[in-house]
């Protein structure tokens, strides 16, 4: 294959966020836009020549075309083998699994995660390093710097690669291996969980509904839940990956998965419900008449980890993102293990996992995972819950309420203000940083403020630092308000406000979440002067 160096002009807007570069499809379709970013990745990877690259995505619009471009560029840049999921499909956790199992140099994931798909929606490119996890900040900053100075990219002229048939083919010096996207991942799950016990649970008449939201997890869930574990046909709904996700927003929460929620709340609902997002790294857990918050789910998995074969040796530690509720902190304290508080972004868990300091990790944004991979993993969390249900033979609600009785309940909610003018959102955060200096000692929503700060993280493994990760208003263990700008959107800015209140009295564990957090929500709005500064009288989304 002949290598061509194509002259180009740099783009100034290719700074990767917490999960790679996400833009509208129309921006990626600009001449050389995708090529420039991919070349910036390759230029930032010393030692990649002769190595193996894993490549796949969630099947969204432009996935297949982008794969063909990246294959030709990878060959031109010296990679000697590329592993591609059949049809271009690989979930984000599956990419991590394949990188680790086959000791690949790294991988490129084509996804915008839970963002909408389609010709007028979102697309994304993310690079994962050799441990299977997202590129650390030092690498993403290197990629960004290179993108602003790029003058040319390398690409081969080659025939279209057949990505729909499993097998290995040579294209000149390049070997392209099209792999079953599910096989390696399913084998890993079988090594972690008691598939026999879960199969017996389904055989007993246990009913489940899994909503793949027309995202990448459909094939994984069908193979594992229906074929290997014996769940009834039709357990997996919306199980075919679609380029536009069937016109839905593939984000597993109470708003965008409302049909599943209604099903679980119906008179003859299934025993267990779950959903995953576009690229398969998020999860939502439901029982009859109960929604399990991601923060509570992480805590419950930690408290019951010994049930699953892959975790019977115990947990060395747990980690949560700073905005995630402190429910798992109480479990860690009871187990006598450390609990690490990191910035938002799965890459911050990587060092802890690699160093053997943590076993389970989680974020409030419907993401949970463990040391089996270096990404959060939606279906893994669902299988973990199934293993617990199979062992305890209790309802989801009973498991949650028993947990609250033992550890107390953390009332928790997130209020999103989406599509804000970035300048307005930045000004809100800037003013909040000043306000933190005046808050300690004051009463907020009948709680005394013990501390307020702009969260700064020092990595305990490599000493790297991350600043301006969110403003925290702490009221001892009783309550907390957190303000943070999200880095996952492609339009405007999203300001997230997190509210948390701890309740030890089990007689008060069945109260309405929003009512219990109403005073905190009002206080947060007043402290940040949200109505005045944003023009919004209420959040866009409450989860």
* 87's tokens: 């049809």
DSSP 233: T
CA nearest neighbour of 82 among 63, 99, 60: 99
DSSP 19: T
Distance CA 525, CA 76 (A): 53
Exposure b/e, 510-543, CB count within 10 A at least 16 = b: eeebeebbebbbebbbebbebeebbebeebebbb
* 146's tokens: 């290179």
Task: Write the CA distances from 490 to 181, 411, 483, integer angstroms.
Answer: 28, 30, 20
DSSP 3-state of 372:
coil
E-strand spans in 19-69? 21-24, 52-57
Lookup result for tokens 């509208």? 24
Distance CA 163, CA 292 (A): 38
* 454's tokens: 């702009």
Axis crossing angle, helix 63-76 with helix 33-43, rounded to the nearest 10: 40
Residue 388 parent element (H or E): helix 378-392
**Residue 204 bears catalytic tag:** no
Give me the catalytic one of 111, 113, 325, 370.
113
Q: DSSP labels for 342-356?
A: E-SSTHHHHHHHHTT
* 246's tokens: 């069937």
* Biggest alpha carbon–alpha carbon distance for the chain: 73
Catalytic residue IDs: 113
């Amino acid at each position: 294959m002949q290598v061509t160096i194509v002259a180009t002009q740099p783009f100034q807007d290719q700074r990767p966020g917490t999960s790679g570069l996400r833009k509208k499809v129309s921006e990626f379709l600009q001449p050389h836009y995708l090529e420039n970013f991919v070349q910036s990745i390759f230029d930032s990877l010393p030692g990649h020549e002769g190595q193996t690259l894993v490549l796949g995505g969630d099947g969204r619009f432009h996935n297949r075309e982008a794969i063909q471009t990246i294959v030709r560029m990878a060959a031109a840049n010296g990679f000697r083998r590329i592993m591609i999921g059949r049809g271009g499909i690989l979930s984000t956790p599956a990419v991590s699994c394949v990188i680790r199992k086959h000791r690949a140099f790294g991988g490129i994931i084509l996804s915008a995660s839970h963002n909408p798909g389609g010709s007028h929606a979102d697309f994304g490119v993310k690079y994962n390093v050799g441990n299977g996890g997202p590129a650390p900040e030092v690498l993403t900053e290197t990629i960004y710097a290179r993108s602003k100075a790029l003058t040319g990219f390398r690409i081969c002229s080659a025939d279209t690669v057949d990505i729909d048939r499993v097998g290995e083919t040579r294209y000149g010096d390049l070997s392209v291996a099209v792999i079953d996207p599910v096989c390696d991942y399913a084998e890993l799950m079988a090594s972690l969980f008691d598939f026999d016990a879960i199969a017996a649970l389904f055989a007993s008449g246990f009913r489940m509904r899994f909503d793949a939201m027309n995202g990448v997890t459909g094939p994984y869930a069908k193979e594992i839940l229906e074929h290997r574990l014996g769940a009834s046909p039709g357990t997996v709904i919306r199980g075919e990956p679609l380029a536009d996700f069937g016109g839905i927003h593939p984000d597993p929460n109470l708003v965008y998965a409302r049909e599943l929620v209604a099903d679980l709340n119906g008179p003859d609902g299934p025993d267990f419900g779950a959903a995953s997002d576009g690229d398969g790294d998020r999860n939502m857990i439901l029982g009859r008449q109960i929604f399990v918050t991601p923060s509570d789910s992480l805590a419950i998995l930690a408290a019951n980890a010994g049930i699953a074969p892959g975790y019977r040796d115990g947990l060395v530690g747990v980690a949560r993102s700073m905005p995630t509720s402190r429910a798992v902190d109480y479990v860690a304290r009871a187990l006598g293990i450390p609990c690490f508080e990191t910035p938002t972004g799965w890459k911050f868990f990587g060092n802890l996992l690699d160093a053997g300091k943590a076993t389970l990790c989680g974020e409030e944004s419907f993401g949970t995972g463990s040391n089996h991979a270096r990404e959060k993993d939606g279906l893994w969390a669902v299988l973990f819950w199934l293993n617990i249900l199979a062992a305890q033979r209790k309802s989801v609600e009973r498991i949650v309420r028993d947990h609250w009785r033992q550890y107390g309940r953390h009332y928790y909610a997130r209020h999103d203000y989406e599509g804000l003018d970035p300048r307005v959102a930045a000004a809100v955060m800037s003013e909040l940083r000043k306000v933190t200096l005046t808050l300690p000692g004051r009463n907020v929503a009948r709680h005394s403020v013990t501390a307020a700060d702009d969260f700064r993280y020092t990595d305990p493994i490599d000493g790297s630092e991350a600043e301006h990760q969110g403003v925290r208003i702490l009221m001892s263990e009783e309550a907390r308000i957190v303000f943070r700008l999200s880095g996952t959107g492609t339009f405007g800015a999203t300001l997230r406000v997190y509210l948390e209140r701890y309740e030890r009295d089990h007689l008060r564990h069945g109260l309405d979440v929003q009512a219990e957090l109403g005073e905190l929500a009002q206080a947060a709005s007043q402290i940040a002067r949200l109505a005045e500064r944003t023009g919004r009288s209420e959040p866009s989304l409450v989860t």
